[in-house]
Structure 1
Amino acid sequence: MQHLINDIDEVDFDVTRGGQVEIIGWLYQYYNTEPHDYAVNITGGAVTKNEIPAATQLFTTDWVVRYMVDNSLGKYWLERHPNSDLKSNLDYLLPGEIQTVDSSENLEDMRLIDNAMGSGHILVYAFDVFMKMYAEQGYSSRDAALSIVQNNLYGLEIDKRAYQLAYFALMMKARQYNRRALQPEKVKLNVHVFEDTDTVSPEFLDALSGEYADDIKQIIELFSNARELGSIIKFDKTFNWTKLRENVEDMHTDALDIFGMNQSKKIVLKVLTIGEIMSTKYDVAVTNPPYLNKFDPDMKKYVKKNYADYSGDLFSVFIFNNINLVKIGGYAAYMTPFVWMFIKTYEKLRSYLVANKEISSLIQMEYSAFEEATVPINTFVLKNVPNGSNGTYIKLSAFKGGMNVQRDKVLEAIANPDIDYLYRTNQANFKKIPGSPIAYWVSNQLLHDFLVGIPLKNISPAQRGLTTGNNNLFIHDWWEVLFNHVDVSRSWRKNQTSKKKWFPYNKGGKNHKWFGNRELIVNYYNSGQEIAEFGKINKNSFGFQGKDYYFHSGITWSALTSASNTFRYSPQGSIFDSNKGPMLFSNDDSTIFSLLGFLNSKVTTLITKVLNPTLSLQNGDMDKLPIKKEIFDQNIEHVVRINVLLAQSDWNEYENSWDFKVHPLLLHIADDNLSIWYYSVVLTNLGAKNVPIFRLWGVK
């Protein structure tokens, strides 16, 4: 409270200057910080129904709200009123063509919804934009304010506290222009909080009768878990909401009400109001939806049943839902994690949007710009029409420094559309790339390469390997065991056996190109006998994928990447990990070395950032790489072989290599000056390949 009083400028509380809604929202998020951190950091467990509000409530930065509303509601109005002065008041309207639309729609009939409204920030800014529209149409500010909150703005929320803040914020906006706004009989807002119907009494259900009784019971059943499902509740039929409401209102209840009929009636009437709002078509939908994929069993079952193709996360369900919640020609705006643009989990969502809707504009933010979300973010606007024009895209990934820096760069791009991080492209191009990533910055030349190149999976498909079920038990650094128990010369030939227990293991690792990261060993005694026995007893997940490729030479890489990819040659004798150390194989060494040269090139880094710009390079991304015959060249192969030999020599100069002989700095020191330790331990310890032997407790 001391910081609230002393650190925030008094002008930020001035309703005539804006900013007060942001303060409400940030305060609400601040008081949710502890439960939020608890909910999102649950290890391996689902977020429960009561934890969802804390886990998913993230206040939307002001400039993002303005971008979303300006480019949805604002653009919708400008399309229907090309001579409007509103454009001069839309600071975040991105450059792009505005197509004129003939429309006789009355302003009072335009509807905007935020169906995950939180503390109401989006609705409050939309109120301001609507006020400018009403002013253009000659309305007084008093009449406009009441019309906006009663006719134009709609909001839904699962968290009662957030709903109360949103209600309060909108009432204050209306009160700013009309003193009578606080009189209950004067104003009825269209913002609501979801309520479960599991408290509706059996007696109430039994008392339902008439033509619409079954429909009412169906609605009550659909809303039995409404505080968890919220706006993703799906209606399988069209209801006559007016008739349903009349049926409930006409139900007789006695004065004693010993069966709670009045309370049940009140709940059902609220639910019918919310149901009608959810089934109405809107001109614009704008929201920062919940980000959640750790579903409890009830939520998981419901999402899989009703949104199977979009079930990777709640935000992807909202993306699909909201673009279909708006009318043909309407807009849906979002702020979400940007993973939907690239990774395989959301491929069906991308394909659906690219084929059926239009990406009007999109801003991809720098990876860690929005600290509150702990995930990379984008904000974008879809139009409910088939693709017909170029979209506007802004790529901010090069600009670090937080959301204020991102805002400034957006404003620079609006002021100067020729800036090099603003792109105009047609989304039809995305279908030319496997998986349809939203790669708006790709050049025509690279698009052509995808069309003519051979997918890597047709030459050398990426292979998953071993899953031990307990890496701490079965995987170690090679120096943790007696080295004569490690088989470093195992051939890839089938049916070859080894009496040794430990074998080299590829599992990603540090940024080493060409060769290296050969430090790990795995207990694969008797073809993984101990792994299988332990997994069955302890019910751990284990598996021996790609077994035919164990001990084969090939290419391995680090699945977790940073600035560039790191591919390495792996000589025969190693097993490889299922997730963190996948491999490519070929029966032809020339193919392996030629591919290795291509994979370690800047071209591949560029392409993989198109296929998946996150920090995780997956097998599916590798399979899509376009390979051109020009890479299979003897000169390229020769250079790559030299690079591998040089990298191998460099790796072996340090003690973490089991082929280490002597540190390079000691090569030119006279023998009589070498240390006693070097003579007594290193040179005599032939069994451990010239490094000291030691043994850890419990490791044999």
Structure 2
Amino acid sequence: MRLRLAPEGRHALEEVIDALPVETFIADDALGWVYQFWQKDKKEEINDLELKIEGSDLGPVTQLFTDTYMVRFLLENSLGAWWATRHPDSPLIRSFKFLRLREDGKPVAGAFDDWPSRVADVSVIDPCCGSGHFLVEAFSMLWTMRAEEEGLSAVAAQDAVLRDNLFGLELDARCVQIAMFAVALRAWKAGEGWRQLPVPNIACSGIPVKAPVGQWMSLAGGDERLENALARMHMLFRDADTLGSLIDPRHTTTMTDPENRQQSFDDMDWEDIAPAFVDAVTRESGRDMAAAVLGADLNGLMRAVILLTRKYTLVSTNVPFLSRSKQASRLRSYLDQRAPLSKGDLATAMLERWMRGAHAIALVSPQNWQEKPGYTAFRGLLLKQATYRLFARIGNNVWQTQSGRQPFKIPTVLSVLSCHPPAKDHDISAIDIGNGSVHEKADLLTQAIVGSVQQKAQISNPDSRIMTSSLGAHPLLQSVASARQGVKTGDDPRYRRFFWEIPLPHKDWVYFQSSLVGNRFYGGRSSILFWEQGRGSLAKSAGARIQGQEAWGRRGVVVSQMGDLFVTLYTGEIFDSNAAAVIPKRESDLPALWAFLSSPSYRRAVREIDNNVAVTNRTLVKVPFDEMKWRRVAEEVPQLPEPNTDDPTQWLFLGRPEASSAPLHVAVARLIGYRWPDQVTTDAFDRFADRDGIVCLPSVSGEAPAADRLQQVLQASFADSWSPSKLKELLEQSGSKRKNLNDWLRDDFFKQHCALFGNRPFVWHIWDGLRDGFSALVNYHRLDRKALEKLTYTYLGQDWVERQRAGVRDEVPGAEGRLVAALELQRKLEMILEGEKPYDVYIRWKSLHGQPVGWEPDLNDGVRLNIRPFVMTGVLRAPFNIHWKKDRGKNPDGTERHNEIHLSHAEKNDAKKRAGCN
């Protein structure tokens, strides 16, 4: 990977770097690694300094880049706010672009009265400093403050800050070197060019100890108290390469550990331990004991220990985002014991750890800890023990990556807190700029309205969620309705289909309500579930979660739990886990419930308490509900409609072309004999349905061409309104540029059909590859072995092939080419009928002896698997988005869910014989 440190030009940097004596530049061995890469890179014709990290994997624990607007916002509303309060006439304040002030000119984040009175006594640390963004910006602010307050020269102020005010820790040693270089470079550019600098107080917190605890304790020279302390140190730092800045030598918590000889420092103050430890190691280092015992750089470890145990004025950082599911087992174990309330993400655990080590914290973190139910106890504790001064919710699209990849997609919040209990009447300043472009966020942070919410009131919010406005006095929605979570199958490809894949009704398949895009009275009704009357493999599966039964059979509103929380009316079906069913306690409340849930007000209310991409079902009813208001709204509109739709992808559709949003496609479906499950038993279009489900585009076996037959369906459907202009309108409505039905059927239909029906087509367009060759539309539901044989040997073989042979004899133009193409199509269809690999059908959830031999499709297995030999032989009119990659999850026996497997007849027949199958 490549790390861009700064926008400075190559030549300006060369002047600084080339002036350095190598010995000085690599003093304390801190910058040697950077220097080596500079020597390599400076020979290249580049405009910006870039450092190449060969083969490195910094992992998700280290966040390398934090866009400057976030850094400046946090520092200016903490360190800058403190300075502005004490020096209101300072010219520096004009440079604080992101400092937010009240109308009276005072910082919205407050005065930070518990901080030191002089800049010289302020200490700032970034414990997750990455490549040094926070350190560089804090350095620039601190030295200009010291220069103004103490009358120091720029160089003297800069050196003083490096010695006294600025500190950094980082898990990855390479990032430590980058951060040191970045700070040094800023000092050289802001000062008089290159000069000898004090070594920045930046250390690696990821240096583990590797020696046995006994060797460590031997450093104490018989001092029992020091032996116990060293045992404790060993326990803390042996996993430093995983724990890094989470380590807190002052914090005492019992841990289950067979090597732990000392559980706390209660019998000895850390102020006594630190010098005793240094003296012991120094005493032994003359005998080269340090290298043997520590297994790492002694000076680096001691610097980290000292920085980890100090108390700072301000901790300002971009804490690493790492959810619990992605944490290493050692890290999870550590957080279980040290941070049980904040362990859901490394970011929140880091916040809890450093609240013990600072007067104030200014940090970038995921927003989820402000909202998710799993952090309820942590929020309650924080709201009571810390003063939350300011937060800014900046949504998704936060970071602009160096590679141009998509910005980070986790809702993010910038927070400024003081680590002491709040005053009773303390108000939190709050900003919410939403999910705008990453390029807009900087300006929005300077312009967005700063709201105010009482901190004490946040504890009374549902789950103590932190909100940007008051909930108001109305009862929560949960007082009149409940929200139920839906079924999670654990294996959707096995148990879930689109309803058009299976002839319905079917005793083993039930409607399966899901989420939708856009509010609709009746939507999200495309799926069915292999339920087997609740007695099948799904109900018994250990990987499935059968839930939501309390809502089945009742009326309510289904809310999609992602994105914009779109809603549809619920009519009692089993529903999936992408949507929650909100069920009123009294059915008479349904109109008011629908009026509220379908309104923008509802989405805003939910997003006020939870801005994560996915919202839990419990959150959906933890918003205020003004029952009387929404009853009045419901009374002002017509009553809720009965179930109906014009969308052919919904099971409620009644199968009439003229009443459809896709009339041409519905007409084709009726022509090949497909019926929607909610269609009336018989209607006027049944007489047009093909008897065997095979409709050839050219005239074959005495049947009229498909276009003529389709026009008859459309004429019957549109009756008196049918005309050539109507046909033109329908073709344009479908998105086609074709001028007639024949061309549309031949060139556009199948591609459009696949797109409309989720790439699981139930009408298969089989052709020989020639525009004037053989083509047929086939009803997949009726395409058993007998039907495929009829297509192969009757329609194609006896009729079309023989006609082309006659054409060849009669020297009809193009007949020879059509004959060759038809014979090749017949050969491919015969390969499908035979079903020898690789033109076989494989069903991963069926045993080997249960696999079909030849073309013997089980419609329950779905289009995706059954269509494979047709795709592989290339007999379908157009490609579409379908695959047989590995499915998510694992089989009950722990194996992967592979689909791209081919089996020979011999393998299948041998398995059937062993299983005793006929």
TM-score (normalised: structure 2)? 0.61
How do 1:148-167 residues align onto structure 2 when only pairs under 5 Å count? Answer: 148-167=161-180
Summarize deviations over 1:128-164 as a string: whole Å, max 9, x none: 1121122121223333222211111111001111100
Partner of 1:550: 552
2:94 paired with 1:88: yes
Structure 2: distance between partners of 1:104 and 1:55: 33
Q: Which runs of 5+ in 1 are unaligned?
A: 36-50, 414-419, 486-499
Summarize deviations over 1:506-539 as a string: whole Å, max 9, x none: 1213324222221211111131421144x25xxx
2:345 paired with 1:324: no
How do 1:422-433 residues align onto structure 2 when only pairs under 5 Å count? Answer: 422-433=450-461
Q: 1:662 to 1:271 in 2, by over 3 A?
A: same
Structure 1: distance between partners of 2:547 and 2:50: 45
Equivalent of 1:503, from 498, 504, 510?
A: 510
Q: Identity of counterpart residues, as a percentage?
A: 19
Equivalent of 1:68, from 65, 74, 82?
A: 74
2:229 paired with 1:215: yes
Alpha-carbon contact 1:484-1:687 (below 8 Å) kept: no
The residue type equivalent to 1:402 in the other structure is V
Partner of 1:312: 344
Partner of 1:367: 396
Q: 1:570 to 1:253 in 2, by over 3 A?
A: closer
Structure 2: distance between partners of 1:596 and 1:2: 52
1:111 is displaced (CA, Å) by: 0.9
Q: 1:547 to 1:392 in 2, by over 3 A?
A: closer
The residue type equivalent to 1:67 in the other structure is F
How do 1:579-598 residues align onto structure 2 when only pairs under 5 Å count? Answer: 579-586=577-584, 588-598=586-596
Structure 2: distance between partners of 1:359 and 1:350: 11
Alpha-carbon contact 1:582-1:619 (below 8 Å) kept: yes
Equivalent of 1:350, from 373, 379, 390?
A: 379
Partner of 1:131: 143
Q: 1:15 to 1:289 in 2, by over 3 A?
A: farther
1:287 is displaced (CA, Å) by: 0.4
How do 1:49-448 residues align onto structure 2 when only pairs under 5 Å count? Answer: 53=59, 56-81=62-87, 84-96=90-102, 97-98=106-107, 99=111, 101=113, 105-136=117-148, 137-175=150-188, 187-200=198-211, 203-208=215-220, 209-210=222-223, 211-234=225-248, 235-236=251-252, 237=265, 238-239=269-270, 240-252=272-284, 261=291, 264=294, 267=297, 270-293=300-323, 294-327=326-359, 331-372=360-401, 373-388=408-423, 389-397=426-434, 400-403=436-439, 405-411=440-446, 413=447, 421-440=449-468, 442=469, 447-448=471-472
1:123 is displaced (CA, Å) by: 1.1
Structure 1: distance between partners of 2:588 and 2:91: 66
Alpha-carbon contact 2:208-2:239 (below 8 Å) kept: yes
Structure 1: distance between partners of 2:186 and 2:633: 71
What is the DSSP-based 3-state SS (H/G/I as helix, E as strand, rest coil) of the residue aligned with 2:365? strand
Equivalent of 1:526, from 527, 533, 550?
A: 533
Structure 2: distance between partners of 1:264 and 1:653: 70
Q: 1:167 to 1:576 in 2, by over 3 A?
A: same
Partner of 1:47: none
Alpha-carbon contact 2:487-2:545 (below 8 Å) kept: yes
Partner of 2:655: 661
Structure 2: distance between partners of 1:469 and 1:659: 29
Q: Which runs of 5+ in 2 are unaligned?
A: 17-33, 39-46, 253-264, 402-407, 694-778, 784-856, 861-918
Partner of 2:876: none
1:274 is displaced (CA, Å) by: 1.8
- Number of residue pairs aligned between Structure 1 and Structure 2: 623
1:55 is displaced (CA, Å) by: 5.5
1:381 is displaced (CA, Å) by: 1.5
Structure 2: distance between partners of 1:384 and 1:683: 67
Partner of 2:20: none
Summarize deviations over 1:516-573 as a string: whole Å, max 9, x none: 221211111131421144x25xxxx2122233443333322211132xx32222224x
The residue type equivalent to 1:222 in the other structure is L
2:568 paired with 1:568: yes
Alpha-carbon contact 1:134-1:144 (below 8 Å) kept: yes
Q: 1:115 to 1:29 in 2, by over 3 A?
A: farther
Alpha-carbon contact 2:584-2:593 (below 8 Å) kept: no
Structure 2: distance between partners of 1:302 and 1:288: 21
2:489 paired with 1:468: yes
Partner of 1:38: none
Q: 1:188 to 1:479 in 2, by over 3 A?
A: same
2:477 paired with 1:456: yes
Q: Which has the larger radius of gyration?
A: 2
Q: 1:31 to 1:599 in 2, by over 3 A?
A: farther
Partner of 1:46: none
Structure 2: distance between partners of 1:301 and 1:29: 38
What is the DSSP-based 3-state SS (H/G/I as helix, E as strand, rest coil) of the residue aligned with 2:655? coil
Alpha-carbon contact 1:597-1:640 (below 8 Å) kept: no
What is the DSSP-based 3-state SS (H/G/I as helix, E as strand, rest coil) of the residue aligned with 1:156? strand
Structure 1: distance between partners of 2:156 and 2:588: 78
What is the DSSP-based 3-state SS (H/G/I as helix, E as strand, rest coil) of the residue aligned with 2:353? helix
The residue type equivalent to 2:315 in the other structure is A
The residue type equivalent to 1:381 in the other structure is V
What is the DSSP-based 3-state SS (H/G/I as helix, E as strand, rest coil) of the residue aligned with 1:363? strand
Q: 1:92 to 1:77 in 2, by over 3 A?
A: same
Summarize deviations over 1:601-646 as a string: whole Å, max 9, x none: 232122112122333232121231223341574882684633x33x
Q: 1:478 to 1:637 in 2, by over 3 A?
A: farther
Summarize deviations over 1:292-339 as a string: whole Å, max 9, x none: 111111111111211111111111122223333213xxx211122223
What is the DSSP-based 3-state SS (H/G/I as helix, E as strand, rest coil) of the residue aligned with 2:100? coil
Structure 1: distance between partners of 2:450 and 2:632: 41
Structure 2: distance between partners of 1:675 and 1:245: 86
Q: 1:288 to 1:687 in 2, by over 3 A?
A: same
Alpha-carbon contact 2:387-2:420 (below 8 Å) kept: yes
2:832 paired with 1:699: no
Partner of 2:714: none
The range that moved more, 136-145 or 312-321, is: 136-145
Partner of 2:502: 481
What is the DSSP-based 3-state SS (H/G/I as helix, E as strand, rest coil) of the residue aligned with 1:119? coil
Alpha-carbon contact 2:216-2:293 (below 8 Å) kept: no
Structure 1: distance between partners of 2:231 and 2:189: 42
How do 1:617-628 residues align onto structure 2 when only pairs under 5 Å count? Answer: 617-628=615-626
Q: 1:134 to 1:570 in 2, by over 3 A?
A: closer
* Higher RCO (C-alpha 8 Å, min separation 6): 1
Summarize deviations over 1:333-388 as a string: whole Å, max 9, x none: 11222233333233333333333322322332253243443323332311234334
Q: 1:252 to 1:530 in 2, by over 3 A?
A: closer
Q: 1:456 to 1:277 in 2, by over 3 A?
A: same
The residue type equivalent to 1:376 in the other structure is P
Instruction: Report the RMSD for the aligned CA atoms in angstroms.
Output: 4.0
Alpha-carbon contact 1:653-1:664 (below 8 Å) kept: no
Structure 1: distance between partners of 2:534 and 2:2: 65
Structure 1: distance between partners of 2:609 and 2:116: 44
Alpha-carbon contact 1:241-1:272 (below 8 Å) kept: no
Structure 1: distance between partners of 2:620 and 2:659: 40
